Structure 1
């Protein structure tokens, strides 16, 4: 699909607010590399090729292993994700696929064993943000494959 609208270049106030949310999450209580892994997993679930390209590049640039990137969709069966990461991925998958269902007490209990209340709220906002980005990119098309990792200031 060709790009229909470049929603991120239009100066739309709501899209700008989403961008601001994403920027705030980079300075949240959550580890940035974990956030990238979460964004990658949710983008897999939503089929957002632009975000998969973007977050795979960010993950590699931050030193994440290919094994952890390639197998994140099977995180339940892998021993190389921490219990905390698994709880966060469980939360992200659950919120992404709610479909009118409530989050079970069992899932909430699992998440609260690994994350503080502030972290759970940040985790929830991160899931909301990436789901929103995914939907914008899928609805309007995005130039998949063009994302470049920004050079780090030294």
Structure 2
């Protein structure tokens, strides 16, 4: 793969802004496990090897099990994920695949039954942020270290 621009060096202010958003997300109520599930699943959909590698390692460090990570792309077919996690994963897929209609009314209604507006907003911000990182990493051919 050819080497491309490094956003961190070429546009440091933009990169700093993204890091600021990550800093904010580190302070939200949403559980670390849930954040990592979102990051891994969106990265799988976007085929971002760099982010899959990073967030899988982070999830393992935070106590996630290898089995749940291995089965994440088939989360609907297993009982390893809670109903709360299934809603988060459905939201992740629908927002990541926005060209297919975005967050459906059905999934949003399920989210409202489980979470308050603040948590729903936090889930959405984690989803949109990892999608931005995925697009940066894939577009610039960011390599796994």
Q: Comparing both chains, which one has the higher relative contact order based on Cα–Cα distances under 8 Å and sequence gaps of 6 or more? A: 1
CA contact (8 A) 1:43 1:130 kept: yes
Q: Which runs of 5+ in 1 are unaligned?
A: 147-154
Alignment of 1:19 onto 2:34: no
Aligned to 2:53: 53
Cα root mean square deviation, aligned: 1.4
TM-score of the two chains, using structure 2 as the length reference: 0.93
Over residues 88-136 of structure 1, what are the superposed CA-to-partner deviations in whole Å (9 max), with x where a residue is unaligned?
Answer: 1111110011116253221110111121100111111111100000000
Contact 1:48 1:134 in 2 (8 A): yes
Distance in structure 2 (CA, Å) of the matches to 1:3 and 1:20: 26
Residues 2 and 142 of structure 1 are in contact (CA less than 8 Å); yes or no, is this contact kept in structure 2?
Answer: no
Higher fraction of helix: 2
Which residue in 2 is equivalent to 1:119?
Answer: 119
Runs of 4+ aligned residues of structure 1 deviating over 2 Å after TM superposition are 8-12, 100-104
Query: Mind listing any 5+ residue stretches in structure 2 that lack a counterpart?
Result: none
